Amino acid sequence: MTQFQRQSNEIGQEGELPTNRRRLIERATIGGLVISVVIHLVLMVIALLVRIDYKFADAGGGETEPVEFSLMTQAELNEQTAIDIDEIEFVQIETESIVDLDLLADSGAEQSVNELADTIAPELETGGGSISDVQVQTGTSGAGTGEGASFFCLEASGRRFAYIVDRSGSMNTPIRSGEMSRWELTQIELIRSVQGLGASAEYFVVLFSTDMKPLFGGSDWIKGTKGNKRLTASAMMSSNANGGTDPEDAFALVFSLDPKPDAIYFMTDGEFNSSVPGRIAQLNRRRRVPIHCILLGQPGSAAITQKVETMLKGIARSSNGRYRHVEDAGGGP
């Protein structure tokens, strides 16, 4: 073999070596990519499973419950979200607000309490005039001035006055030929009485029927400021009459006030338990606070009316108070 042939064979053998290495490297690279892709896919699947398991796990880390999924069509969705208005039931809820009476601001009003009372009150006497013109026995139906008060024409002296007022269902009885009710007359008269109290006076109003309710809640005396008087007028005009006639708890509350009242007004239109006068006498035994009693209308038959009158007169007499019967004058039973 010539030298030229030997060199040619060596060059051919050397040319084959790079080709084999290149193929090996290519195969190794492809294999590595495949393995890498597989590993990454496995890791992604594991991460996704861990994330789902964590999301639906309970707070205690216990075993998870299977979650069911379902598809809802648009028609089914519309059916689920549709509201049948006829099936909705509206319930009216009465609310009460608690007010710090001693901190009331003295705000302006378009209409005074007297103007409001005269607007809603019809003429009370055949001769004309408004409720402020009524003259009965001693005093007038207007409230007292200075160190005194007046309620249904019964005058009282002092600085602190408690009003125990009947708001039972019978107070809705029409009076004055049907032009107003007993309750409306009582609302107007109590507003007028409070409006006429002196600036240094204090008062307390408790309404009773089957149970009792202080006009503003609590058991604190209300100062006779203009703002408080206007608030009292608003509260009275928004109060309704219903229920039975039980004044005993109202008296217990009034006699628990500190300091004690200088005078008490007790107004009712119905028959109450015959044990009430004895209970009142017991509560009033230490300090005989005058209790001025008013019977509004006729509680029922002549016998019942006489029974109620006897009890009221007894309460007034034993406490050095006074009694008055305000007849329905053209209305009532």
- 313-330 pLDDT per residue, tens: 999 999 999 999 998 864
Instruction: Please indicate, yes or no, if residue 157 is contained in any of the structural domains.
Output: yes
Instruction: Please indicate, yes or no, if residue 72 is contained in any of the structural domains.
Output: no
Can you give the pLDDT at residue 3?
Answer: 52
Instruction: Please indicate, yes or no, if residue 81 is contained in any of the structural domains.
Output: no
**Residues 178, 49 within the same domain:** no
SS (H, E, C) 190-226: HHHHHHCCCCCCEEEEEEECCCEEECCCCCCCEECCH
| Most confident range, picked from 86-100, 134-148, 302-316 | 302-316
Range of the domain at 231: 114-326
Tell me the C-alpha to C-alpha distance, in Å, between residue 279 and each of 251, 282, 320.
9, 5, 17
**Residues 47, 147 within the same domain:** no
Instruction: Please indicate, yes or no, if residue 267 is contained in any of the structural domains.
Output: yes
Instruction: Please indicate, yes or no, if residue 164 is contained in any of the structural domains.
Output: yes
Q: How many domains does the chain have?
A: 2
Can you give the pLDDT at residue 138?
Answer: 30
User: Where a domain ends, among 19, 40, 60?
Assistant: 60
Kindly state the greatest CA–CA separation across the chain: 163
**Residues 8, 136 within the same domain:** no
- Mean pLDDT, rounded, for 219-238: 95
For 248-273, the pLDDT digits (tens) are: 999 999 999 999 999 999 999 999 99
**Residues 149, 235 within the same domain:** yes
Q: Is the pLDDT of residue 201 over 70?
A: yes
CA distance 309 to 323: 9
**Residues 31, 133 within the same domain:** no
**Residues 159, 224 within the same domain:** yes
The pair of structure tokens assigned to 98 is: 């608690």
- Mean pLDDT, rounded, for 175-192: 93
Instruction: Please indicate, yes or no, if residue 100 is contained in any of the structural domains.
Output: no
SS3 (DSSP) at 267: strand
CA distance 292 to 322: 5
Band of the pLDDT at 297, cuts 50, 70, 90?
A: very high
Q: What percent of the chain has pLDDT over 70?
A: 62
Contact 227, 107 (CB under 8 A): yes
